Structure 1
Amino acid sequence: MSNIDNLSVNIIRALSADAVQKANSGHPGLPLGAAPMAYELWAKHMKHNPKDPKWSNRDRFILSAGHGSALLYSLLHLFGYGGLSIDDLSQFRQSGSLTPGHPEYGHTVGVETTTGPLGAGMATAVGMAIAERYLSTKFNKEGYPIVDYYTFVLGGDGCMMEGISSEAFSLAGTLELNKLIVLYDSNKITIEGDTDIAFTEDIQKRFEAYGFQILIVEDGNSLEKIGAAIEAAKEDKSRPSLIIVKTKIGYGCPAKEGKASAHGEPLGEENVKALKEYLKLPANETFHVPGEVYEHFKKIASKNIEAQEKWNEIFERYCNAYPEMKKLWNQYYNLDIAKELLENEEFWSYQNKPDSTRNISGMVINRLKDLVPGLIGGSADLAPSTKTYMKNEGDFSKDNYGGRNLHFGVRELAMAGIGNGLALSRLHPYVSTFFVFSDYVKPMARLSSLMKLPLIYVLTHDSIGVGEDGPTHEPIEQLAMLRSQPNFTVFRPADATETIAGWYHAITSQKTPTALVLSRQNLPQLLGSSKAALKGGYIIAEAAKDVPDAIIIASGSEVELAIKSKEQLEKEGIYVRVVSMPSMEIFEVQSKEYKESVLPKGVRARVAVEAAAEFGWGKYVGIDGAYVTMQGFGASAPAADLFEEFGFTTENVIAAVKSVL
């Protein structure tokens, strides 16, 4: 190790320790132990340009162990990303700072994905590696490696314990994603102590079973051995690689090295001084970076600028040689089809016969595949049921990286994390499972919302209409769960027109993930449904007088029930407006005037009808309103029997309306 390399590694360690100490909050242990592997990777093996952080052909780096964010911020500062300053490092974990407790995509320049929940970054990395293989197949021509980058992900023992990493890496091995390189910070320490108290499996054998190449670095401080392992990983063209780097948590701090106390608490001022003395740095100086270190990182960055300039030249020649590919590239990376779809009569057409909204969704997917070349997706082993298969587009596999249909296997959690990685790679992905299993999906869907990724969740079998499969497969509380999530759109359509509207919103959204919640059972095409569904809530059946006596609000399959109930009530001289509410989130962002026109404050007699929990409907029905909703779990029986058993009948809805008049 050269003197400048050694000094650079130790400055990364010291900056990280200072940031945590200044905040009196954070995780110094990982940065101290993992600094050598992070430096070696960023300085000598990773293709990246701080002057253009979004360069499409850059190598990706994900810190899956996001609690070690001080390490990432130190690297970003030294390499000159986004003007991240020493002052920013000193504001670690403070309000409004560019250095939050865990890395946040879109907040700090150079952060590729939001991490924090352990293992999440592992699945996201797999998604990015899938995107690289797919895009390289679509775009690369002989002599023109337009898409050619690696995805590196660094995680620790906690990431390896979380089940999502097993799901994701099992698929990565199956797909032989050779551009995926996992750096495992193996220090055998977690918050509660030595990993042996809960984690004794043989990681090497586990990853060999997945189909990974295994490389072991016994000395986590040896830049030469770490570098050799990274290059060996790159040389293997047939499989992903796991580099096990054996480190000491809290390295260099005499009182904390190798101890659980180094993981998630500041070292203490005296221990920070002792650390710096051990590293042969000025003990009493904080956030100290010698000029020679800045100059060293500047030289490294300049080489990366040259790498991008070379790529730019190749890309220009490529565009001249293949103008049709340049057009396709722009379609992938500059999606703006909102107006085109809105005015496309074929896109909005359907057969006027009863059909399930999952079937209609499948029809729309197969229309969109020809309009949106970056559309890619699949399901957790449920495509025949969720109707998410793109015809004549092939299956993505180790033998065909150009296939657009992804088979995630029975891995819902990893599927959603992989979907995030695909979305971060500027593709237009969808993922799918049964709605009840959104419980498995939720943690990664939450990250979709945090990152403002337009990932599409196709969630079918949306209610007790699942029927014979019984309560384990009948979603009750899931609508309320997803509706409660900030920056997340839930769309539960009632018929074909509303389903197409839901897909229109999902595919044209730029900053919001969308869940399309779809029926298993056939539903009729409703006379009053229209593109007004794009407003989230609208009048689908109007009362026969200017001011209705009551309003019934419903979504999905229950809209038909609401309309039938209205028709019966009118025969009794009770005039009711029916509002279809496929999306509360979209309705809420409409103008006050529009919302008042649909749900006038003067009409207090309101009933919500939905085959799910009533939670969340209160803001629309008010204290004078009533509910025809589920009050418990479902049961196993034919769907028609269950709807009657649980009160989803015209008689019950009529009684509810009369009770509020």
Structure 2
Amino acid sequence: NRDRFLLSAGHGSMLLYSLLHLTGYDLPISELKRFRQLHSETPGHPENFMTKGVEITTGPLGQGFANGVGMAMAQEHLAAKFNQKGFPIIDHHIYCICSDGDLMEGVSYESASLAGHLKLKNLIYFYDDNSITIDGSTDLAFSEDVTKRFESCGWHVLVVDDGNDLKAIEKAIKDAHRIKDKPKLIRVKTIIGFGMPKAGTSKAHSDAPGEEAVKETKRNLGWDENKHFYVPKEASAHFREAIKRGAKFEKDWEALVVKYEKTHGDLGKTLQETRKNKLPAGWEKSLPKFDDVEAKATRAYSGEVINAIADAVPQLIGGSADLAPSNNTTIKNSHDFEAGKYDGRNIHFGIREHAMGATMNGMSLYGSVIPFGGTFQTFSDYMRPAIRLAALSGVQTIFVFTHDSIGLGEDGPTHQSVEHLAALRAIPKLAVIRPCDAHETREAWRAALERDNAPTAFAFSRQKVALIDRKKFADAKGLHKGAYILAEAEDKQGKASTPKLIIVATGSEVGLAMQAREQLNASGTPTRVVSMPCWEFFDEQTTKYKESVFPSSVKARLAIEAGVSLGWSKYVGDAGDTLTVDRFGASAPGEDVFKEFGFTVENVVKKAKKLV
């Protein structure tokens, strides 16, 4: 239970580093001197995994703004869940400095709209209104009335006319604290590079001032121009008071929590478990076994998993960008997360994919919740910056992408995902999982929940997938190795045989591979089928394991996936081939589109035999 400070305007990172040093964080002045240097703890933009005290990774403008909204959502959810009379366990504010550039980015508008709708009262944002960007004055491209814009979104706006008037800023903060029913924006009029020779111009934004300009700036501010990295003793002593104050606040809060846990039974126990940011013991027992499963789309299986584990994993909270019935993301035994009903676990993000991704990152960074959010896989493009930052920041955000291919059908090429699997796989540290059946879908969720230091993206189908007899074929737990031998090669008599051909596939195409295998085995071409739901997991395996799945002696390899071929050469080799989709799709029933693009047993067998 502590205030959060976010620097959405991440290019001002030295302000944050200086304050962290002054207030006693483990950031010595020697690191300030190494600003923007290799392996320093003071990178050009704040990175949450690099510097102690940095809450979020910022730099791409607008992201920090939206992260803060997500943090406020997590805070309200936990407060509604745990706070009791006399026990304000979760009760604090989230502060953020945002810039003109932040407010020009669309993601800030999306998330501001969502925050206002949800009445996130603990948000207090400072808008550094200096009217300057790199190109020059903001009126080159930005002339809207920001106050009216935020008021129309449901925010309370306060104005400070002089950014150097500390008393006015303090008054604005106190006034903001008194507003209890909406988020607050404090619009502070500032002069960029105040005190510098080029103050108030774009030169003060991005140009290195030079030694003489630095000296002149110090003189203008009444500072000794010959002292470098100098902190007066009285200033240091004043800032370091934060250490004792913080320790007392923490001690008092911990005492309150101990009392709470003693007086609130099961709720106290749940709070204790939630604070650990660990999954509850035995949660896996709630995962569905899918013993008598029917043929469905993997998106439907995903919905069943979510609802099976919801009670066992109370940290799980999520929703969709206005596609909940299609994404199957609704937790059926919970209500909606709305203003005044923050204990609900079903979030309506609205048609705001970018804000959904960025707010989920904020929720994850806040801690004690595991956020998930769904949309069509094609629309992952709208939220790519947030997905990338989730991976860079190492946070547990779960992206539920459905309608994963041309199998989407009638909505046509605008909605049919083609290049997106490759694009998502290109992001370091992001695990992209495309399961082939109910059992792999269950294991995909298990993997995502156990990955607490990185994001996961699911690729679920709209089209039904084949039923795979897991008593006859390999256990779906092979998913955790990324790729595994689903069905071994056999001779004409049905006996195990050394493979002459390997078919590797993902998602709904695994069923197609299994059908082709039967014909190929029967015709005298012993064929192994490898299910490869997650490239990233497979790449982490030992050389020995990789060789066991793809023996170097078997050159005949065929990859089947309803997406672009990019990347598959790594696994099929120069002698292999692919059955993929390297052009946009078409509007027609999914089965017809698959047939048009060659995803038939006959075509698979034909392509396979050419390799042997």
**Which residue is 1:51 aligned to?**
none
Please tell me whether the aligned partners of residues 172 and 186 of structure 2 are also in contact (alpha carbons under 8 angstroms): yes
Kindly state the Cα deviation for residue 353 of structure 1 after the two structures are TM-superposed: 1.6
Which digits, 9 at most, give the CA deviation of each residue in 1:508-561, with x for residues without a partner? 111121111100111122122522222211111110143201100000000011
1:656 CA drift (Å): 1.5
Instruction: Map 1:331-370 to 2 at 5 A.
Output: 331-337=273-279, 340-342=282-284, 344=285, 347-370=288-311
Matched-pair contact (CA < 8 Å) for 1:412–1:441 = yes
Percent identity, aligned pairs only?
48
**8 Å contact kept, 2:280–2:313:** no
1:221 aligned residue (164, 168, 171): 164
| Residues 44-443 of structure 1 aligned to structure 2 (within 5 Å) | 57-81=1-25, 83-253=26-196, 255-337=197-279, 340-342=282-284, 344=285, 347-426=288-367, 427-443=369-385
- 1:334 Cα deviation (Å)? 2.6
Give a deviation string over 1:631-660, Cα, whole Å, max 9, x none.
200010011110010111112211221222
**1:659 counterpart = 2:610:** yes
Structure-2-length-normalised TM-score = 0.97
Q: Output one character per residue of 1:267-300: Cα deviation in whole Å (capped at 9) or x when no partner.
A: 1111110011111111011111111111111224
Describe the superposition over 1:234-256 as per-residue Cα deviations: whole angstroms up to 9, x where unpaired: 11001000100000000011x21
Supply the AA of the counterpart residue of 2:513.
A
- SS state at 2:561 partner: strand
Q: Deviations over 1:598-620 (max 9, x none)?
A: 11111010011000000011110
Distance between the aligned counterparts of 1:583 and 1:180, measured in 2? 38
Q: Partner residue of 1:482?
A: 424
Structure 1: segments with no counterpart, 5+ residues: 1-56
Aligned equivalents of 2:283 and 2:89: distance in 1?
A: 30
- Tell me how many residue pairs correspond in the alignment: 602
Counterpart of 2:398?
Answer: 456
Mapped pair 1:562 → 2:513? yes
**Partners of 1:77 and 1:84 within 8 A in 2:** yes
Distance 1:403 1:542 in 2: 47
Shift of 1:150: 0.6
Q: Say whether the 8 Å CA contact 2:286–2:309 is kept in structure 1.
A: no
Q: Give the superposition deviation at 1:341.
A: 4.8
Q: 1:600 is matched with which residue: 551, 567, 590? A: 551
2:95 and 2:120 mapped to 1: Cα distance? 12
Distance in structure 1 (CA, Å) of the matches to 2:267 and 2:574? 59
Contact map agreement 1:498 1:529 (CA 8 A) in 2: no
The one of 585, 596, 600 equivalent to 1:645 is: 596
Deviation at 1:322, TM superposition (A): 1.6
Q: CA deviation at 1:312?
A: 2.0
Q: What is the deviation of 1:335? A: 4.8
Give the drift of 1:350.
Answer: 4.8
Report the counterpart of residue 547 of structure 1 in structure 2.
498
Task: Name the residue aligned to 1:574.
Answer: 525
CA distance in 2, matches of 1:182, 1:405: 26
| Separation in structure 1 between the aligned mates of residue 67 and residue 104 of structure 2, nearest angstrom | 16
**Superposed displacement of residue 336, structure 1:** 4.3
Distance 1:502 1:346 in 2: 11
Cα separation, partners in 2 of 1:59 and 1:519, compared to 1, 3 Å: same
Q: 1:380-407 deviations in whole A, cap 9, x for unaligned? A: 0110100000012110111301111110
What SS does structure 2 have at the residue aligned with 1:370?
coil
- Tell me the distance in 2 between the aligned counterparts of 1:571 and 1:339: 47
Determine the C-alpha separation between the residues in 2 that align with 1:346 and 1:404: 19
Runs (4+) of structure 1 moved beyond 4 Å? 335-339
What is the root-mean-square deviation of aligned Cα atoms in Å?
1.3
In the aligned structure 1, how far is the partner of 2:15 from the partner of 2:287?
52
**In 2, Cα distance between the equivalents of 1:89 and 1:264?**
19
AA paired with 1:78? L
Q: Which SS does the other structure have where 1:271 is aligned?
A: helix
Whichever residue aligns with residue 155 of structure 2, its letter is F
Aligned partner letter, 1:249: I
Indicate conservation of the 8 Å contact 1:350/1:496, yes or no. no
After the TM superposition, which of the residue ranges 540-549 and 204-213 deviates more from structure 2? Answer: 540-549
Letter of the 1:245 counterpart: V
- The answer for the alignment partner of 2:493 in structure 1 is none
> 1:345 offset after TM fit, Å?
7.4
CA deviations on 1:472-524 (whole Å, 9 max, x unpaired) are 00011100011111101000000000000100000111112111110011112
For residue 135 of structure 1, what is the amino acid of its counterpart?
L
**Aligned match of 2:541 in 590, 605, 612?**
590
Aligned partner of residue 539 in structure 1, secondary structure: strand
What residue identity is the alignment partner of 2:413? Answer: P
Secondary structure at the aligned position of 2:206 is classed as coil
Corresponding letter in the other structure for 2:441: T
**Residue 475 of structure 2 is aligned to residue 533 of structure 1:** no
Does the CA-based 8 Å contact 2:287-2:305 persist in structure 1? no
C-alpha separation between the residues in 1 aligned to 2:380 and 2:549? 30
Tell me by how many angstroms 1:333 deviates: 2.7
Q: Secondary structure at the match of 2:112?
A: helix
- For 1:148, what is the secondary structure of its paired residue? coil
Can you list the C-alpha shifts for 1:58-99, whole angstroms capped at 9, x where unaligned?
Answer: 100100010110110011010011x21111100000011010
Q: TM-score w.r.t. structure 1 length? A: 0.90
CA distance 1:139–1:398, shift in 2 (3 Å): same
Q: Distance in 2 between matches of 1:313 and 1:346?
A: 36
Question: Quick one: distance in 1 between partners of 2:502 and 2:246?
Answer: 63
Of 319-328 and 465-474, deviating more is 319-328
Q: In the alignment, what sits opposite 2:570?
A: 619
For 1:625 and 1:333, the matched residues in 2 are separated by: 50
Report if the CA contact (8 A) 2:323-2:374 is conserved.
Answer: yes
Give the counterpart of 2:462 among 520, 536, 551: 520
* CA distance in structure 2 between the partners assigned to 1:477 and 1:438 by the alignment: 11
